[in-house]
Amino acid sequence: GRTLRTTSSVLRSTPPPRSRKPSPRAAVEPVAAPEPPEAVAPEPTAAELLAQANELRRAGAYQEASERYRELQGRYAGSREALVSRVTLGRLLLERLGDAPGALELFDGYLAATPDGTLAEEAWVGRALALQRLGRTQDERAAWTTLLSRFPGSAHAERARQRLGEMVGAEP
């Protein structure tokens, strides 16, 4: 009997079992971290888009270059790069892709935004050439005349004078 009694007293002195909540010190089973979302490349900057478009144009990928210039103009409409790309894309549309109306719109857009911009001379030449392709002789004449008055020392001055002379000779 004594053993039982001792056992019984030992059992009574043992605190009742606690609920099995994990203690902060208990080893926690590692939980798999959620999968990171697919890595998304950062959006290219205006300068990067312009460089990509220029590279495509130089490589002869004219349609792809045109799309990249348009992307630049859409994403970064007010940027210096988007403004410059109007003249470059205008030339590409006029000379390589046969889109004189689209080119004219771009040249006019550049000239409206920055009439004294660094590419204004090129924009006036592009405007005159686009108007020539469209058969808009009076507007073409005005564009060449404006080029000569605003940029008398232009590398395009001789071409402008020659074209104006041809237009006078062609009049009835």
Measured between alpha carbons, how far is residue 37 from residues 30, 33, 40, 43, 159 in Å? 21, 12, 8, 16, 58
- Cα torsion at 151, 156, 158, 161 (round to 10°)? -70
Residue 10 confidence class, pLDDT cut points 50, 70, 90: very low
Closest CA to 45 of 76, 68, 15: 76
Give residue-wise pLDDT tens across range 80-115: 999 999 999 999 999 999 999 999 999 999 999 999
Give the residue among 107, 168, 98 at the shortest CA–CA distance from 133.
98
Say if pTM beats, i.e. exceeds, 0.85. no
If you ran DSSP here, which 8-state letter would residue 99 be given? -
Whose structure tokens read 């392709």?
A: 133
pLDDT, one tens digit per residue, over 15-26 is: 555 656 655 555
